[in-house]
Structure 1
Amino acid sequence: MALLLRLVLLCGVADFTRSLRVTTPEQTIEKAKGETAHLPCKFTLGSEDHGPLDIEWLLSPADNQQVDQVIILYSGDKIYEDYYKDLKGRVHFTSSDLKSGDASINVTNLQLSDIGTYQCKVKKAPGVESKKIQLTVLVKPSGTRCYVDGLEEIGNDFKLKCEPKEGSLPLRYEWQRVSESQKLPTSWLAEMNSPIISVKNASTEYSGVYSCTVKNRVGSDQCTLRLNVVPPSNRAGTIAGAVIGTLLALVLIGLIVFCCRKKRREEKYEKEVHHDIREDVPPPKSRTSTARSYIGSNHSSLGSMSPSNMEGYSKTQYNQVPSEDFERAPQSPTLPPAKVAAPNLSRMGAVPVMIPAQSKDGSIV
């Protein structure tokens, strides 16, 4: 009985050794952004694997909310590479003969979105086997900037800073003094592997050129700065100049605003005057006609009066006429009264009239 059991186990082991197997172990690969990642997948076929060969690569994104995506497929002796739009044109089989046992792929121009778990699945009925590879895409340090935060003056406290624009964590920093053979000041040694070095009570001995190197697992970057510690500057003059400049700027802005507002008011007034509709006002009555009628009426009244009363009446009436109206009225030249002799009057048919005389007190004589 024991012998029979051993024979069954040996047959099972023999069958297992002859079945399909993926020989590449599971592993983790780290690559920098923009580089090419080679994902290996080697397999062997068993003698009983007679079905068609199918090779399938799947991606399980780092975001667990997304489902697995087929990124490339080999089936029916054809290759299909357009399954996953984020990797379209960037994923390819490395071997031209996949039946030889090499199902490895290359992913070019790596992006952070390519991070995830890649699974190589090989099928050849009745055998099926798969392996997983963890791909991590890191960003190399780049765009590193070194600068001094503070005034580089004797006795001051300031900071030396080293900041990369991008780079995957963890990052390592290393400061060096490159201008002279002197090493970093003793007080700086504790911070030579940090992005910031705090300088206390600066002196001219600190002047020089310094470099900062930033590293991570996929690359490094470097920057330099020149430190020049100088005597304190005249801060009072600088502050006064800044204040005067600010006041002048405010005055200039005020003048500009005043001129603009004045111009707007003038334009507004011109528009109102231009569009104002005025009613026609009748012309004033002529005073000349009034004066003439006034004088004419007086002449008519004078004509009915006796000669004795005419002189006083005419003076009184003509004195009542407004000087302005009288001046404007056209005046005809006055002629002296003509003297006619009594015989001539009788020939002309005049009738003599007796005019009673008056005394000084007004009584009739």
Structure 2
Amino acid sequence: MALSTVRFCCVLLSLFTGLASGLEITSTGPTSIEKASGQSVKLDCHFTLAPEDSGPLDIEWSLVSSDSQSEDKVVILYSGDRVYEDYYPPMKGRVHFNSADPKNGDASINLIGLKSSDSGTYNCKVKKAPGIRSRKLHLIVMVKPSKPRCYTEGPTVEGKDIVLRCTADEGTKPMQYSWERTSDSKLLPASAVLDPMGGTINVRNASASTSGTYRCVASNRVGTEECFLNLNVTPPPNTAGRIAGAVIGVLLFLILLAIILFCFCRARHRKKYEKEICNEIREDVPPPKSRVSTARSFTVGSQRSSLGSMSPSNLHEYALKPQYDKIPSSEDYDRPPSHAPLPPPSAAKMAVPNLSRMGAIPVMIPAQNRDGSIV
């Protein structure tokens, strides 16, 4: 019984030894590869066959899913002496077998135009019944830094803290930044504090000597990019002069405003006064004074002398003259000139002899003006 058991174990061992000496993956290169985006990579997978491997040859490359619940994505397949390359749409046209006839022992593939999404674990599985072997390769597609942007934060004034910042929007981590000064002594200021991971330089209590040209280099394991910054530290502004100028400007504005308001009020007051004067009815103005006695004595004497020397013919002409010696009443002054009373028509036509027959005596009545003075 014990002898039979030993013989059975020897038979099983020989069978396993035969299987182990069949299909084998012979590639021994690195299993982790780093490449930059846009480059090409060869995923190596060589194999050997044994005489007992008599089944059909199948070669399958798949992208292992990071989620254990999801299925692996077949990238390229060789089966039945035929190549199938369009299994994975994101890599369509970018993945090919390295050999035109993979059954000769070269199952390697080439990936061109690498993208960051191509990163992952790839599994090369070779099957030829009864042998099955596989090999896994880890591909890391790195993106080199994009063109960084250099700028300053804070006022570039003497005595202030200035921050020089360098940032690249794209690039595979980890990424490092280095600063250097390209002008003058090419040394960073003594008060500068460099952060290589954040890409910043903090310059404390900046002075005029801090001015110059600076260069920032962003780098990772697949590439570098750089940018330049011109820093000009200016003297502090004259704050006292600005305040004095602002105060003077405000005072001048207030003075000008006060002058404008004063002129406006004065003009308004004058206009109001003139309007009141025009609307006022002045009835208490006294009449102008005249020399009554001298004019009256002169007029009476002259009238008497003229009456004494008048003849009937002169008297007739005197009667025909308009009567200017009539004293006008207040109604005559109030009446418009167009309504002034006309002299009676009979007085001009009446003859002096008729007046004499009627017993009238011609008398010269002295005329008076508006204020009662004799003319």
Q: Does TM, scored on the shorter chain, surpass 0.5?
A: yes
Is 1:220 aligned to residue 221 of structure 2? no
Query: How far is the alpha carbon of 1:143 from its aligned partner?
Result: 2.1
- 1:85 is matched with which residue: 84, 89, 98? 89
Partners of 1:54 and 1:123 within 8 A in 2: yes
* Post-superposition offset of 1:34: 2.1
Letter in 2 for 1:199: V
Q: 1:106 maps to what in 2?
A: 110
Q: Would the alpha carbon gap of residues 193 and 74 (structure 1) be closer, same or farther in structure 2, given more than 3 Å must change?
A: closer
- What is aligned with 1:46? 50
| Deviation of 1:73 (Å) | 0.6
* Mean CA deviation greater in 64-73 or 189-198: 189-198
2:210 alignment partner, one of 206, 211, 220:
206
Structure 1 residue runs of 4 or more that deviate by more than 4 Å after TM superposition: 1-10, 234-238
SS at match of 1:99: helix
2:59 aligned with 1:23 = no
Deviation at 1:192, TM superposition (A): 5.5
Percent sequence identity is 49
* Cross-structure match for 1:118: 122
Aligned position for 1:256: none
**Which residue of structure 2 lines up, in the alignment, with residue 184 of structure 1?**
188
Q: 1:163 aligns with which of 167, 182, 189?
A: 167
Rounded to whole Å, the distance in 2 between the matches of 1:88 and 1:154 is 59
Deviations 1:11-67 (A, max 9, x none): 456514531011235712222222222211111111211122111111123455542
Deviates more, 1:58-67 or 1:209-218: 58-67
Residue 172 of structure 1: aligned partner: 176
Q: Secondary structure at the match of 1:205?
A: helix
| 1:215-274 CA-partner distances (Å, limit 9, x unpaired) | 222222111111111212467869x99xxxxxxxxxxxxxxxxxxxxxxxxxxxxxxxxx
Matches within 5 A, 1:288-303: none
| Aligned partner of residue 147 in structure 1, secondary structure | strand
2 CA distance for matches of 1:193 and 1:126?
54
CA contact (8 A) 1:209 1:227 kept: yes
Cα pair distance change 1:83/1:237, threshold 3 Å: farther
Residue pair 1:61, 1:115 contacting (<8 A) in 2 also: no
Distance apart, 1:135 and its partner CA: 1.8
Over residues 109-138 of structure 1, what are the superposed CA-to-partner deviations in whole Å (9 max), with x where a residue is unaligned? Answer: 222322222111101111111111122222
Quick one: which amino acid aligns to residue 97 of structure 2? F
SS of 1:186's partner is coil
TM-score of the pair, normalised by structure 1:
0.59
AA matched with 1:161: R
CA distance 1:150–1:63, change in 2 (3 Å): farther
1:128-171 CA-partner distances (Å, limit 9, x unpaired): 11111122222211121111112222112120001001111111
Q: C-alpha distance in 2, partners of 1:121/1:93?
A: 14
CA displacement at 1:186 relative to structure 2: 2.6
SS of the equivalent of 1:103 reads coil
Contact 2:193–2:203 (8 Å) recurs in 1: no
Once the two structures are TM-superposed, the CA of residue 212 in structure 1 deviates from its matched residue by: 1.3
Q: Is the contact made by 1:18 and 1:47 (CA closer than 8 Å) also made in structure 2?
A: no
For 2:149 and 2:75, the matched residues in 1 are separated by: 39
Query: Does the aligned pair in 2 maintain the 1:62–1:115 contact within 8 Å?
Result: no
The one-letter code sitting in structure 2 at the alignment partner of 1:23 is T
Output the amino acid matched with 2:32.
T
Q: Identify the residue that residue 353 of structure 2 maps to in structure 1.
A: none
Q: Residues 106 and 169 of structure 1: is their aligned pair in 2 closer, same or farther, counting only changes over 3 Å?
A: same
- The answer to whether residue 158 in structure 2 is matched with residue 154 in structure 1 is yes
Give matches, 1:1-365, under 5 Å. 8=11, 11-12=14-15, 14-25=17-28, 27-62=31-66, 66-191=70-195, 194-233=198-237
1:179 to partner: Cα distance: 1.6
Given that residues 182 and 214 in structure 2 are in contact (C-alpha distance below 8 angstroms), is that contact kept between their aligned partners in structure 1?
yes
Q: How far apart are residue 202 of structure 1 and its match? A: 0.6
One-letter amino acid matched to 1:121: K
Number of paired residues?
Answer: 241
Tell me how far apart the structure 2 counterparts of residues 180 and 49 of structure 1 sit (CA, whole Å): 74
Structure 1 residues without counterparts, runs of 5 or longer:
242-365
Give 1:298's aligned residue.
none
Uncovered stretches (5+) of structure 2, i.e. residues with no partner: 247-375
Partner-residue secondary structure (3-state), 2:78: strand
Cα distance, 1:122–1:12 mapped onto 2, change above 3 Å = same
Tell me, yes or no, if the aligned pair for 2:75 and 2:85 is still in contact at 8 Å: yes
Larger radius of gyration: 2
Query: Secondary structure at the residue paired with 2:163?
Result: strand
Q: Secondary structure at the match of 2:150?
A: strand
CA distance in 1, matches of 2:56, 2:16: 24
Does the CA-based 8 Å contact 2:44-2:107 persist in structure 1?
A: yes
